[in-house]
Copies of this chain bind each other. A is one copy, B any other.
Amino acid sequence: MWTLYQFPLCPFSRKVRIALAEKNVDFALELEYPWARSDRLLGLNQAGQTPVLAGEKPGPLVHSQAICEYFEETVEKAPLLGSGSAARAEVRRLTAWFDEKCYAEATNPLLLERMYKRVVLRQPPEARTLRAASQAVALHLDRIEALLGERRWLAGATFSLADVAAFAQLSVADYLGGLGFSGYPDTKQWYSAVKSRPSVRRLLPDRMEGLVPPPHYDKLDF
């Protein structure tokens, strides 16, 4: 069986967990905190980053997009990249937007200030960085609300890896108390629809040691 090396608040681990569950690929979970730089994780991935998927051939598979593309090519069930090259280009564009831009501007600063400083460094968060992250979250919600004005799902008419990637980032922000839907009715409905998928519900009970999410975090009615 595959084993996914991950930690509960890693958005890229979440992306892979949801994608694999959509495709009915079985996997076990192993906890790895990248900042601990364990020999095990470095042996699997010299970049020292989660997620890594190992234990079956041709593992270890490294990098969330490489892992998702691999299973898109090898498992027919539940296509997540869409049908046709043009549709796939749009899914990949939006997936990269959330993986790179939303992560760099919103999720990563929130993780640094509200998780890493609290759990690892035992320092208070910096208010200025938190404000900038919160503005970035709003900017991404604006973008999602605009997309959903034209489309049922983020990249088009069907659920795709773009929805998975977006939810993976936003659900980490939500866990850290950095997400609210006031003024974003379509986005709230979309978030609720993603949240109620069996692939997603499986990861909502997970907790990061030393950090309690807000009460609404794992509720379907939030």
**Do A63 and B47 have beta carbons less than 8 Å apart?**
no
Give the complex CA separation of A1 and B65 in angstroms. 30
Give the complex CA separation of A115 and B69 in angstroms. 35
Q: What is the distance, in angstroms, from A183's C-beta to the closest C-beta of chain B?
A: 19
Give the complex CA separation of A96 and B63 in angstroms. 7
The reply to whether the CB of A73 lies closer than 8 angstroms to some CB of chain B is: yes
Q: What is the distance, in angstroms, from A79's C-beta to the closest C-beta of chain B?
A: 14
What residues of B have a CB within 8 angstroms of the CB of A157 in the complex?
Answer: none
Give the complex CA separation of A93 and B69 in angstroms. 11
* Set B47, B58, B67, B97: member contacting A101, Cβ < 8 A: B47
Identical chains bound together, number: 2
A57 (CB) vs chain B CBs: closest residue: B86
* Set B62, B86, B88, B100: member contacting A93, Cβ < 8 A: B62
**Do A89 and B66 have beta carbons less than 8 Å apart?**
yes
The reply to whether the CB of A70 lies closer than 8 angstroms to some CB of chain B is: yes
What are 25 of the A-B contact pairs (CB < 8 Å)? A46-B143, A47-B97, A57-B86, A58-B85, A58-B86, A61-B93, A63-B92, A63-B96, A65-B65, A65-B92, A66-B89, A66-B92, A66-B93, A66-B96, A67-B89, A69-B88, A69-B89, A69-B92, A70-B86, A70-B88, A70-B89, A73-B85, A73-B88, A74-B85, A100-B100
